[in-house]
C-alpha cells in the first residue's frame, strides 16, 4: 500500500521505517524541515536501535522517502498515520493543536477518499473530533475520509522489535472498510511474513499478535489506561520499596516473588528514581484530566504521580544522609536518558535529579552512552565526561541514574581508585549491595538493606 506518515519523531519514524520494512511504499513528512533534510541526507535524528539498518535498506530499495512539503505526502498516500506530538498543556491536558493542523492539511490537499489513522496518543473522543474537523475542512472538495485509531505500544529502545513483533494490534474503527485496510497494512506482521531485521530467528516460531477491533473511543482509552496502569504499577513498587527499607526487607526479593503470580506479572516492578519519558508522565496527567472532565474521580492516579515526583527528593535525602553536606561537592552522574537504550531525555528523572543537585550547590560531571548531546541542550551548565571513569574522577559520590547495561560491567576497582570517596548511590538498584561493599564501596540503593 501507499502510506504517508505525518510526524517523524520516535513514533512516526519507527512506524514509517517499519511499514516500509514489511513491504509498503512510505513517504514521511514533518514540519521540522531540518529533520527532513537530515533524513534525506542519510542521517537519523534519534537513537533507536535497529533504525540504522531498516531506514537505509528501505530507502535503497525505494520504499521509503522523506518530504518537507506535507502536500506531497498527502498526494502520495492512500492511508495516513498521524504521528505528531501531543505534548502537555500547562493544565496537564494534551495539546491537540498539531492534530488539528494535520487534519486541515489533509482535508484541503486530498483529492480522493483516504483513511486517516491516529497513532499519536490522544484522549478518548479525539477520533470523533478528528472526523468532524476533516469534514468541516473538506467542505469545498467534499472528499470523504475514514478515521481509525491505532494506538502505538512502542517502547523506546526496543521500538523496532515492538512494531514488528507486537503482542497485540488494536484498531478502533467505525466501518468495515477501515478495518479491512488496516488488516492489509498489518498483514505481513500478522502472518509474520517478512525478514525480521532485529530477531532473525524468532519470526517463524514466535506467537502471532492478537488483533483486537474496537470502537474508536475504546482504542483511545486502551492506550491511556495502559500507560496509566504501568505508571501506577511503578509507583506501587516504589512505595513497597520504601516500606521494605524501613522493615529491613529486600525489594528485589519481594517483587521477584510477587511477579511470579501471573495475575501480577514481573515487569514494571523495578523500584528506583521513578518513571519518566515522553509518554508515561504526560499520558497519566492527560488521563486524570480526562477523568475529571468526565466527572470521574481518579485520585488514585494523582497519588501515583505524587509518589513518582517524590522519588527525586527521596533520593537526594539518601545522598545527603551519606554526604552530610552536598554544597560544593563533586558528584559524578551515570546516565541522563530517561531509560537505557535511548537518547531521549524528555522528562528524564536523571535530568530532574541533576537540576536538584545544582540547586543544592553541587558540582556535577555526567556521562551517558547516547544522551549527552540532547542533555547538553537543556543542561548546558554541567560538565560532560567522555566515560564513566572520567565522571567518577575526584567525585565524592557517584550516582547511577539510568540502568545502562554498560554500567553493570564497569571496572569498579578503577572507579574506586578514581573517586575522592568511594560512595555509590544507585538510583536504579542496578548493582549488588554485597558485591559493591566487598569491593570497598559505601553503597546505597532503594529498598534494600545497606
Ligand atoms: C511507554 C509504554 O511502555 C509504551 O507501551 C508506550 O507506547 C509509550 O510509553 P516508553 O515511554 O518508551 O514506553 O518507556 P517505558 O519502557 O514504558 O518506561 C517508562 C519509564 O518507567 C522509564 O523512565 C523507566 O525507567 C521507568 N520504569 C519502568 C521504572 O521506573 N520501573 C519499572 O519497573 C519499569
CATH number at residue 193: 3.40.50.720
Q: Which of 182, 214, 246 is the last residue of a domain?
A: 214
Give backbone dihedrals phi and psi of 328, rounded to 5 degrees, phi first. Answer: 80, -5
Instruction: Determine the atom of ligand 1 nearest the C-alpha atom of 268.
Output: 33
pLDDT at position 378 is 96
Mean pLDDT over 268-276 rounds to 98
258 and 304 share a domain?
yes
Instruction: Determine the atom of ligand 1 nearest the C-alpha atom of 278.
Output: 11
446 Cβ inside 6 Å of ligand 1? no
Residue 167 to residue 141: CA distance in whole angstroms: 40
155 and 257 share a domain?
no
Cβ atoms of 308 and 238 closer than 8 Å = yes
Q: Distance between alpha carbon 273 and the CA centroid of its chain, in Å?
A: 16
The predicted-structure confidence for 305-342, as pLDDT tens digits, reads as follows: 999 999 999 999 999 999 999 999 999 999 999 999 99
Residue 288 to residue 224: CA distance in whole angstroms: 10
Mean pLDDT over 85-98 rounds to 91
Alpha-helix residue ranges (DSSP H) falling in 110-166: 126-137, 159-164
338 Cβ inside 6 Å of ligand 1? yes
In Å, how far are 429, 435, 437 from 432, measured between CA atoms?
8, 5, 9
| CB-side neighbour CA atoms (13 Å) of 355 | 11
> How many structural domains comprise the chain?
2
Instruction: Determine the atom of ligand 1 nearest the C-alpha atom of 403.
Output: 25
Mean pLDDT over 384-394 rounds to 98
Cβ atoms of 38 and 183 closer than 8 Å = no
Q: How many residues does the chain have?
A: 450
Give the range of the structural domain holding residue 400, as residue numbers without chain letter: 229-444
Q: Is the pLDDT of residue 200 over 80?
A: no
148 and 259 share a domain?
no
108 and 182 share a domain?
yes
Q: Which of 171, 189, 214 is the last residue of a domain?
A: 214
143 Cβ inside 6 Å of ligand 1? no
25 and 169 share a domain?
yes
pLDDT at position 205 is 59
Residue 34 to residue 402: CA distance in whole angstroms: 29
Residue 429 is placed in which grid cell? 538498584
The predicted-structure confidence for 211-255, as pLDDT tens digits, reads as follows: 999 999 999 999 999 999 999 999 999 999 999 999 999 999 999
Q: Is residue 223 a part of any domain in this protein?
A: no
54 and 106 share a domain?
yes
269 Cβ inside 6 Å of ligand 1? yes
Residue 118 is placed in which grid cell? 491516529
Q: Is residue 221 a part of any domain in this protein?
A: no
Q: Which of 214, 240, 263 is the last residue of a domain?
A: 214
Q: Is the pLDDT of residue 7 over 50?
A: yes
**Contacts for 60 with CB less than 8 Å, ≥ 6 apart:** none
Task: Quickly state the pLDDT bin for 199 (edges 50, 70, 90).
Answer: low
| CB-side neighbour CA atoms (13 Å) of 262 | 0
Atom 18 (ligand 1) nearest CA: 275
Ligand 1 center from residue 326 Cα (angstroms)? 30
**Contacts for 91 with CB less than 8 Å, ≥ 6 apart:** 289
Task: Quickly state the pLDDT bin for 192 (edges 50, 70, 90).
Answer: confident
From 274, 280, 353, 447, give the residue whose CB has the most ligand 1 atoms within 8 Å, as the site to mutate: 280
Residue 301 to residue 296: CA distance in whole angstroms: 12
Ligand 1 center from residue 10 Cα (angstroms)? 14
The predicted-structure confidence for 32-74, as pLDDT tens digits, reads as follows: 999 999 999 999 999 999 999 999 999 999 999 999 999 999 9
10 Cβ inside 6 Å of ligand 1? no
Instruction: Determine the atom of ligand 1 nearest the C-alpha atom of 280.
Output: 9
Which residues partner with 64 through β-bridges? 26
Mean pLDDT over 155-177 rounds to 94
Q: Is residue 449 a part of any domain in this protein?
A: no
- Output 196 or 278, whichever has higher pLDDT: 278
201 and 343 share a domain?
no
Atom 20 (ligand 1) nearest CA: 275
189 and 78 share a domain?
yes
277 and 186 share a domain?
no
Kindly report the pTM of this predicted structure: 0.93
The string of DSSP codes covering 258-320 is HHTSTTT-STT---SS---SSSHHHHHHHHHHHHHHTT---HHHHHHHHHHHHHHHHHHHHHH
Ligand 1 center from residue 88 Cα (angstroms)? 17
Mean pLDDT over 258-287 rounds to 96
Atom 21 (ligand 1) nearest CA: 275
Q: Is the pLDDT of residue 172 over 80?
A: yes
Q: Is residue 222 a part of any domain in this protein?
A: no
Cβ atoms of 165 and 196 closer than 8 Å = yes
DSSP one-letter code for 155: P
- Cell 523500584, residue? 271
Q: Is residue 224 a part of any domain in this protein?
A: no
341 Cβ inside 6 Å of ligand 1? no
Handedness of CA 139, 145, 148, 150 (dihedral sign): negative
Q: Is residue 210 a part of any domain in this protein?
A: yes
176 C-beta neighbours (distance < 10 Å), count: 9
Q: CA 353, 357, 359, 365: dihedral to nearest 10 degrees?
A: -110
Residue 183 to residue 79: CA distance in whole angstroms: 12
261 and 207 share a domain?
no
The string of DSSP codes covering 90-114 is TTS-B--HHHHHHHHHHHHH--S-E
Residue 104 to residue 115: CA distance in whole angstroms: 15
Q: Give, for 444, the enclosing helix (H) or strand (E).
A: strand 442-444
Mean pLDDT over 81-93 rounds to 92
Q: Is residue 351 a part of any domain in this protein?
A: yes
Atom 28 (ligand 1) nearest CA: 268
80 Cβ inside 6 Å of ligand 1? no
Mean pLDDT over 364-383 rounds to 97
281 Cβ inside 6 Å of ligand 1? no
Give backbone dihedrals phi and psi of 67, rounded to 5 degrees, phi first. Answer: -130, 135
Pairing verdict, β 25-29 and 363-367: unpaired
From 232, 279, 309, 445, give the residue whose CB has the most ligand 1 atoms within 8 Å, as the site to mutate: 279
Residue 181 to residue 178: CA distance in whole angstroms: 5
Ligand 1 center from residue 111 Cα (angstroms)? 40
DSSP one-letter code for 338: S
Collapsing DSSP to helix, strand or coil, 241 comes out as: helix
257 and 350 share a domain?
yes
The predicted-structure confidence for 102-135, as pLDDT tens digits, reads as follows: 999 999 999 999 999 999 989 989 999 999 999 9
Mean pLDDT over 141-162 rounds to 94
Residue 28 to residue 39: CA distance in whole angstroms: 10
Just list the catalytic residues.
279
Q: Is the pLDDT of residue 157 over 70?
A: yes
**Mean pLDDT for all residues in the chain:** 95
The predicted-structure confidence for 416-445, as pLDDT tens digits, reads as follows: 999 999 999 999 999 999 999 999 999 999
Residue 426 to residue 115: CA distance in whole angstroms: 48
Cβ atoms of 152 and 117 closer than 8 Å = no
pLDDT at position 194 is 73
218 C-beta neighbours (distance < 10 Å), count: 15
276 Cβ inside 6 Å of ligand 1? yes
301 C-beta neighbours (distance < 10 Å), count: 18
Percent of the chain topping pLDDT 90: 93
Amino acid at each position: 500500500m501507499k502510506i504517508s506518515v505525518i510526524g517523524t519523531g520516535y513514533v512516526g519514524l519507527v512506524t514509517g521505517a517499519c511499514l516500509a520494512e514489511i513491504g509498503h511504499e512510505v513517504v514521511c513528512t514533518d514540519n521540522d524541515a531540518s529533520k527532513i533534510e537530515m533524513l534525506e541526507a542519510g542521517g537519523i535524528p534519534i537513537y533507536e536501535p535497529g533504525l540504522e539498518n531498516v531506514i537505509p535498506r528501505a530507502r535503497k530499495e525505494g520504499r521509503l522517502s522523506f518530504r518537507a512539503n506535507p502536500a506531497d505526502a498527502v498526494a502520495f498516500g492512500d492511508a495516513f498515520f498521524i504521528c505528531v506530538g501531543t505534548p502537555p498543556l500547562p493544565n496537564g491536558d494534551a495539546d491537540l493543536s498539531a492534530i488539528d493542523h494535520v487534519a486541515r492539511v489533509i482535508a484541503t490537499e486530498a483529492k480522493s477518499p483516504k483513511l486517516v489513522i491516529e497513532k499519536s496518543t490522544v484522549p478518548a473522543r479525539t477520533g470523533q473530533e478528528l472526523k468532524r474537523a476533516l469534514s468541516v475542512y473538506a467542505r469545498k472538495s467534499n472528499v470523504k475520509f475514514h478515521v481509525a485509531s491505532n494506538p502505538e505500544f512502542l517502547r523506546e529502545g526496543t521500538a523496532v522489535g515492538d512494531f514488528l513483533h507486537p503482542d497485540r494490534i488494536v484498531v478502533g474503527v467505525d466501518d468495515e472498510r477501515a478495518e479491512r485496510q488496516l488488516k492489509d497494512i498489518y498483514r505481513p506482521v500478522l502472518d509474520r511474513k517478512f525478514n525480521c531485521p532485529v530477531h532473525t530467528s524468532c519470526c517463524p516460531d514466535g506467537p502471532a499478535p492478537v488483533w483486537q477491533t474496537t470502537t474508536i473511543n475504546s482504542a483511545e482509552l486502551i492506550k491511556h489506561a495502559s500507560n496509566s496502569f504501568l505508571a501506577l504499577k511503578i509507583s506501587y513498587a516504589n512505595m513497597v520499596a520504601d516500606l521494605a527499607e524501613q522493615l529491613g526487607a529486600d525489594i528485589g526479593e519481594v517483587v521477584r516473588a510477587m511477579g511470579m503470580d501471573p495475575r501480577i506479572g514481573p515487569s514494571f516492578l523495578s523500584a528506583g528514581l521513578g518513571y519518566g519519558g515522553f509518554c508515561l508522565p504526560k499520558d497519566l496527567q492527560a488521563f486524570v484530566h480526562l477523568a475529571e472532565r468526565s466527572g470521574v474521580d481518579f485520585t488514585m492516579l494523582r497519588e501515583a504521580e505524587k509518589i513518582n515526583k517524590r522519588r527525586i527528593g527521596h533520593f537526594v535525602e539518601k545522598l545527603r544522609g551519606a554526604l552530610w553536606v552536598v554544597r560544593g561537592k563533586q558528584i559524578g552522574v551515570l546516565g541522563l536518558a530517561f531509560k537505557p537504550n535511548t537518547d531521549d531525555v524528555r522528562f528524564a528523572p536523571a535530568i530532574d535529579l541533576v537540576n536538584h543537585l545544582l540547586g543544592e550547590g553541587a558540582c556535577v560531571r555526567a556521562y551517558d552512552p547516547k544522551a549527552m548531546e540532547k542533555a547538553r541542550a537543556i543542561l548546558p551548565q554541567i560538565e560532560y565526561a567522555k566515560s564513566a571513569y572520567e565522571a567518577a574522577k575526584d567525585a565524592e559520590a557517584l550516582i547511577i541514574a539510568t540502568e545502562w547495561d554498560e554500567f553493570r560491567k564497569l571496572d569498579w576497582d578503577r572507579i574506586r581508585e578514581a573517586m575522592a570517596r568511594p560512595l555509590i548511590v544507585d538510583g536504579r538498584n542496578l548493582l549488588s549491595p554485597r558485591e559493591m561493599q566487598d569491593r570497598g564501596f559505601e553503597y546505597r540503593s532503594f529498598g534494600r538493606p545497606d
